[in-house]
Amino acid sequence: MTTSILCLSGKQYYQLMNLSIKTQSFLCSDTVTFIELLNISNCTTNDLCLKRLINEFKIKYYPNGHRENKRSLNDEQGKLVAKYHKPRFGRNIIYKEMEKIAFLRVVRACRDYLLSDMIEEDTNQLVNKIILSHKLLFNN
């Protein structure tokens, strides 16, 4: 018996789109920085590797810290966000309903990180929340 993939609700998708707009870096025009951070959070559960990738992300997109974006996303960027209407942590795992909950926890952790000062303590909190979300998913 297969489980159908749970989509984000309209409200959750709207919040994801607004977060993507609000946190979009001024240095980037071809990708969505919030989605890039979500992709990083999905690539590994090794804390040292996550910290390194997050620090590289911060240096690349936010070298002077976060400033709220007032511009909307272009069509290509909107399509990148739309891919997350059906959130998945990995295509090679059997879908579990818990996956949507774990994904939303990571979204909130990434939001909190991008809206913080992005100091090392904030990076450590983000890494811990990502690892906890992965444990929630893969230990159930």
Range of lowest pLDDT (25-29, 40-44, 52-56, 113-117) = 25-29
CA 138-114-105 angle, to 5 degrees, is: 25
Of 4 and 120, the one with more pLDDT: 120
* pLDDT of 5 above 50: yes
pLDDT tens profile 57-95? 999 988 887 787 878 888 898 888 988 887 766 555 666
So what's the pLDDT on residue 1?
45
What letter represents residue 128's amino acid? N
The whole-angstrom separation of Cα 30 and Cα 90 is: 24
Residue whose entry in the numeric block shows the structure tokens 């609000």: 22
Q: Give residue limits of the domains in the chain.
A: 10-138
CA distances from 99 to 19, 39, 106, 130, 136 (A): 20, 15, 11, 13, 9
In this predicted structure, what is the pLDDT of residue 3?
A: 61
Q: What residues contact residue 135 under an 8 Å CB cut-off, 6+ apart?
A: none
